[in-house]
Structures are given as C-alpha cells and as structure tokens.
Structure 1
C-alpha cells in the first residue's frame, strides 16, 4: 500500500519538474498579471479628468465650427430653413436678436436674392470652463456670396465665438470678427 501512495506522488513531482509545465504555469501567471494591469490602465484612463477634458474640447470645437458655418450660410430659396438653422445653433442674447430681427432680415435676403455658403478652414478652442458650461472658439472660414448677377464674391475671415452648454449641447451665444493685428514692430 505504501507503494500506491508513492506512485502518484512521484508522478506529481515529475510533472512539477517538467520544464514545459513550469513554463506554462509561469506564462499563465504573467498573462493574468498583464490582463489585470491592462484592465486597470483602461479603467484609469476612462476615468481620467484629462480624457474628459479632451472630449469636452472636441465636443465644443465641433459644435462651434458647425454653428459658425451655419451662421454664415443662407440661401434665399430656402430662407426659412436657413433662419431656423441659425436659431437652432444659438442661445441667449444672440438667439433673441435673431428671433427679434428675423422678419426684417428675411425681407432683406429675399429682396437681394443672395446665396451664401461657408466652409470651415480651421478652428480652435480658445478657452473652456466645463464647470461653468462656457467655451470660446476661433474659426477660420471661407464664405462665398453669390448674387443674381455678377461673379461670386469670396472672402476668408476669422471669427470668435462664445459657446454656452445647454441641455441640447453647445450653442453659440456670441459671434464676432476676430481682431487682425500687426506683429511688425
């Protein structure tokens, strides 16, 4: 009977000494450790304030560029749709000004029969305060205005916009021309 007990013990010891078994166990332990480390790193990155801030910047920039483009695009043939787009892109005092002046502006555009299209060339977030829900953007764009007669007029400009976070996302709350200065001394 003593022999029966020693046989399985010898087999177990022989397996434990087998270099392939030892290597497989070591690799399994390393793989489990790497998986745990990778999971922790992924969790940590997903809950990192820097990642959240970067996403907020991207969201603000995308909304700001789209809003500035919307505000510089208007076709007299689809005037109501274009003015609705302006109102949907804005909030606060800027939106109130657009709503209050909508009829007069619509009349001017309908009489002029112009079509303006804007293309964003580049944009940047100039400031971001996530807690207060405010952001600033600078957008460079090319605006083409086509009148019923004559050649289209093309103008490139830089605009500064203020954004406010609303329940629907970032909206333009102010828009103005960026100052152009001279760096010559």
Structure 2
C-alpha cells in the first residue's frame, strides 16, 4: 500500500490514433491497402510489348518477302520475260527481208518459225521489190502456258522500207503471234496482221 498522504503516480500509455497495426508475415501492415501498379509502369509495359510485336512483324514480313521471291511463281515471271524477249526478236526477223539476199533471209525466217508457218511464210517472200527492216516498238503476252510451252504475243512493229537505195515512208503494223517452245527455243507458229498504217 502506498504511504498515507502520498499520491500514487500512475503512468499510462497515451492513446495514439495513428498506432501501427501489427505486421503480417510478408512485412505489410494487416490493414494496409495493396498498392496499385503506377501509370508509369503500365505505360512502360505496353510500350515494350508494342516494340516486341513490331520486331516480330518486321521479321515475319522479311521472311514472307523472301519466300515469295523464291517461290515457283517467280519462275513463271522469268518464263514470261524470256518469251517476250524471244518474241520481239522473232518478229523483227520475219519482218526483215531483202530480195537481194533472198536465200539468207529465208534461212533466217525458217530458223524463227515452226510448223505450218515455216512452210507458208516462205511462199510470201517476193522475188523482187523493196527491202524491209522490222523494228518492234512494243510487245506483250496476252497468254502464257508455261507447262504446255505456248504463248500468244501482241506486237506493234515499225517497218522501214528501202527501194532502189532510197528510204520510203515507213509502215506501222500490229501483229498477233502464237509462239511454241521447241528444243531450240521459242519459235513463231502463227502470225496474223491486225492493221497497217503509214508513218
């Protein structure tokens, strides 16, 4: 008991409203709210994902382009270019003729043709008259069957004419040709004239 006349000093813990709640095992306060992801971290994550997708798309595009360039379809393009180049040469050959060099030019015509055209074209060569020189202005395929080895060509041709050593008005004509691929390359198998005009 306390001695009479003396007050007992009572010490008590002052009440604090901001007392810290007991911590959970993971170090967080029991009643502390979980922290949400900050807007900055979210933006960083989205940006990184977008860059990764862009890199993947670029890699896929490069692979697709390479695959298309080396696919069998490109072989068809090469065949088309080859047929057009051959057709231009063949048509220039059969529209060039000099009666003074009849045998030589007829031999060139035979080399440029095949089938019935090879036979019939020789009968159209005049024994005399002006010399002609064909220049193909433009040419393109209207049809190509690479497997069958056939093609149809349309060509615009300018034919220079020389008579007795003097140049004559040039003629322009449009030709439709069928070509057949043989063991020695493309040959003309038919030839039709679509129109003739002066210079």
* TM-score category, normalised to shorter length: 0.5 to 0.7
The answer for the alignment partner of 2:133 in structure 1 is: 117
Q: Alpha carbons of 1:66 and 1:149: their partners in 2 closer, same or farther (altered >3 Å)?
A: closer
The 4+ residue runs of structure 1 with deviation greater than 6 A are: 38-41
Return the alpha-carbon distance in structure 2 between the equivalents of residues 179 and 118 of structure 1: 15
SS at match of 2:170: strand
Question: Superposition pairs for residues 133-144 of structure 1, below 5 Å?
Answer: 133-144=149-160
The answer for the alignment partner of 2:69 in structure 1 is: 45
Shift of 1:39: 9.5
Shift of 1:96: 2.2
Tell me if 1:54 matches 2:103: no
SS at match of 1:131: coil
Shift of 1:59: 0.9
Tell me if 1:166 matches 2:182: yes
The structure carrying a bigger helix percent of its residues is 1
Per-residue CA deviation, residues 120-156 of structure 1 (Å, 9 max, x unaligned), is 1111011001111110000111001111176512111
Unaligned runs of 5+ in 1: 1-33, 181-185
Return the alpha-carbon distance in structure 2 between the equivalents of residues 151 and 134 of structure 1: 37
Return the alpha-carbon distance in structure 1 between the equivalents of residues 142 and 173 of structure 2: 17
Shift of 1:116: 0.4
Normalising by structure 1, we get a TM-score of 0.65
Normalising by structure 2, we get a TM-score of 0.61
Return the alpha-carbon distance in structure 1 between the equivalents of residues 120 and 143 of structure 2: 24
Tell me if 1:76 matches 2:76: no
The answer for the alignment partner of 1:175 in structure 2 is: 191
SS at match of 1:91: coil
Superposed CA RMSD? 2.6
SS at match of 1:152: strand
Q: Which has the higher contact order (CA 8 A, sep 6+)?
A: 1
Unaligned runs of 5+ in 2: 1-58
SS at match of 1:136: strand
